[in-house]
Chains A and B, each alone.
Chain A
Amino acid sequence: MVDLVLRAANLTKVYRGRRGHAPVDALSDVSLDLERGTTFGIVGESGCGKSTLARLLVGLEAPTSGTIRIDDQPVVISERSASRELARKIQLVFQDPFSSLDPRMTVGKALKEVLTVHSLHTDMTSLRASELLSMVGLTRRFAERYPHELSGGQAQRVAIARALAVEPEILVLDEPTSALDVSVRAEIINLLVRIQDELKLSYLFISHDLSMVRHISDDIAVMYLGRVVEMGRYDQVFVTPLHPYTSALEDAIPVPNPEHERSRQAAGAVAVHVQVDKVTRGCPYAPRCALVEPRCRDTAPTLTEKANGHMVSCLVALDDAQ
């Protein structure tokens, strides 16, 4: 039996359009299952709904429709008090660590405050505070520091310690390394892997850095315009991608290897980007797709299993070699 810590089913989020504009479908029918102790990676371009998904999962916003269950309990967003206990179980870590830290509050105070926010009546003893700090690789002397006295990497460690203070089961990590120096990213990724093993945490790891996502994730969903277009184990998605969008993404990533880049240029690979606001019929990826066929413009594909849990939403990929 797989032990699912989080189940999101058919999540949809429609934002009312600004004056005179049509409503925006930020998220359409997204379902995912997070197995306890594992990492689910979400990739896709900006505006594809990654952060909307994160906000729904941690209860910052209510979905237009769909359900979220944590530990098999439904999360009810509208009745905040009822879901407090569940809200504690899932914590969000932001891209910019400084944005989540109050500049006038010491690190120690910030750790204390989070308990009050969740009305947990346990005390943040200095022992607990130093335990949390040491978990993220900082000495207890950091409790007295203010955010401006921290480097980017240290601030991200504090943000993670703060999320851990309420003993969550799930961390939603929204681009946790993008704002950091290259030399610091490895530290944070190593830290996340270590505390995941120690605390048996489950992660939702959102990033546009495919190499990091591949490194840390067990399962991966690729999103395009608010939908999941491909989903599977990390090696399925990266080694044998099925959706043409996944291939285009991988192809566009600059690889830190000049040889590779030269052969890429020699092969004349071009990543075509066409800005598409809304497709009303057929496959939403059709206007950009390299494999597009006439039927794609009429029939919208649905996310369907192709093999061993490897799901794809593409008419052509589903037909191929079946």
Chain B
Amino acid sequence: MTAALLDIRDVHIGIIRRHGSDEIVRGVSISVAPGEKLGIVGESGSGKTLTMLSVLRLLASPPLGVVKGEILLDGEDLARVDAKRLRAVRGGEIAMVYQDPMSSLNPLMHVGKQIEETLKAHGSSPLVASDRTREVLGQVGLADPERVRTSFPHQLSGGMIQRVMIAMALATSPRVLIADEPTTALDVTIQRQILELVTSLQAETGMAVLWVTHDLGVVASLVDNVVVMYAGRVVEKATTTQLFARPTHPYTKALLQSLPGTGSSHRSALHQIGGTPPDPTRLGPGCPFRVRCPYAEEKCAQAEPELIDRGEGSFAACWKDPSQW
């Protein structure tokens, strides 16, 4: 195991109230090594975005805040660094592509200029910044980088904006790239191109990648390891191969089964998980998946399982050994 480059340790995020707080993210630990590509999947509302935002101290606070935990970049606790250092890390060592790209661009500035400004803020000369901007806009598959460079955000389509955001993130050659659903709005051929670009850049520069996605196909094609989140917690950690071959948490198994695949025949009923995910602030004792879980037993209602080693690099927060399913 290589030492972690980014180490998110037991992070709790809550809605801070006058008396105490309601926890939404309940103790998440995720770490990536240099050169590792890690996928983060999970139910909508499970806390993926909040966890990623907390890394760069970008949570909407108030009301949100990190209640507990550490975020270490090469051993340096980002929760404690001063504003100047934080600015250097943001968009420099750690770049982020947000789920909602429009909100992170300035509507009144040409997009090329915005990339140049980011580069200059991180120490590039104007000349280098402008060359690099052209280069990255070309790399993300924009046909006419020159036109895009001198466009305002509203003059570009959603797919183009998304690629501009990816170009901006890659421009500074970050050590860590955090991407939150970066290709959801893109066409499959462009998505494929982005996945290939990230893979090749990553091989070249040794950048670590955290890729949040709902698309299990993207997981299979891009990442080495996967973290599955449910109700504000990590419920499974595994290598990509193991996750697909031998899921060790019932939620992961149900997710994989719900996909229409080569196995399911035309128009036959797809596997449904049923039920709805719980509100993470109103959890009782026990496993948060138990009401939807086909394997739930008495113990599951009493105590919430921690991650248990299930072998072959898989860990699952489930009382039941997968061999007993």
Contact = CB atoms under 8 A, between A and B. Distances in A.
Contacts of A215: 260, 264, 266-267, 270
B322 interface: no
A125 interface: no
B240 A258 contact: yes
Contacts, number: 123
Contacts of B102: none
Nearest to A253: B188
B191 interface: yes
Contact of B159 (A46, A154, A189, A210): A46
A46 B162 CA distance: 14
- Range for the number of chain B residues in contact with chain A: 35 or more
A254 B273 contact: no
Interface string A244-271: 0000110011111110110011000011
B217 interface: yes
B187 interface: yes
A65 interface: no
B276 A275 contact: no
A273 interface: yes
A210 B259 CA distance: 12
Interface string B69-95: 000000000000000000000000000
A157 to B, nearest CB: 12
A253 B217 CA distance: 8
A216 interface: yes
Interface stretch (B28-36, B121-129, B140-148): B140-148
Contacts of A185: 258
Given A182-B255, A186-B271, A186-B272, A212 B260 contact: yes
B143 A186 contact: no
B220 A45 contact: no
A281 to B, nearest CB: 19
Contacts of A265: 221
Contacts of A190: 269-270, 272
A187 B272 contact: yes
A205 to B, nearest CB: 12
Interface in A4-18: none
Contacts of A248: 189
A270 B220 contact: no
A183 interface: yes
Nearest to A275: B143
B216 A275 contact: no
Interface string B234-268: 00000011001000000000111011110010110
Contact of A256 (B143, B190, B219, B241): B219
Contact of A47 (B43, B144, B157, B193): B157
5 contacts: A248-B189, A252-B191, A256-B259, A258-B241, A275-B142
Given A258-B244, A271-B189, 12 more contacts: A46-B159, A183-B258, A183-B273, A186-B272, A190-B270, A190-B272, A254-B191, A261-B220, A271-B188, A272-B189, A273-B187, A273-B193
